């Protein structure tokens, strides 16, 4: 008679679920690059109404 061998008790290991991460696009692809503003608007962005 064969010894009954019980199956070892194991805790099922669940593979971690990985959500594919998507790196955000570089900022110039997300926002308007201030450097692209035209010369006149750059003079306005300099804001001479606000103290240096």
Partner 1 sequence: MTSLADEPVRSSWTSPAADAAGRRLRVFARLVRCSGPSSGADAIEYRLHAGGALLFCTASQPTYAGALGRAAELADARAALARLPLRQGCDESSAVTSSLDQITNRGRNAEIPDALQDLAEEIAVDVHEACAAFDDPNLWYPGVDEGIEPVPDEHVRLVIAALQRELDRERRNALGQNVEPRLPPAPLAELPWSIQRALAERRRLRFSQYGIGRPQWEAGAWSLWDVREDADWLPRRAANVGRAGGYAGW
Q: Round the CA-based radius of gyration of the chain to a whole number and report it.
A: 32
Least Cβ distance, residue 37 to partner 1 (angstroms)? 5
Could you list the residues that contact partner 1 (CB under 8 A)?
A: 24, 26-52
Q: How far is CA 47 from CA 16, 20, 31, 37, in A?
A: 53, 44, 21, 14
Nearer residue to partner 1 within complex by CB, 20 or 24: 24
Least Cβ distance, residue 30 to partner 1 (angstroms)? 7
Nearest to 45 by CA among 5, 35, 17: 35
Least Cβ distance, residue 23 to partner 1 (angstroms)? 9
């Amino acid at each position: 008679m064969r010894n009954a061998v019980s199956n070892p008790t194991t805790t099922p290991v669940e593979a971690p679920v990985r959500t594919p991460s998507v790196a955000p696009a570089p900022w110039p692809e997300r926002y308007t690059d201030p450097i692209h503003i035209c010369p006149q608007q750059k003079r306005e962005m300099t804001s001479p109404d606000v103290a240096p």
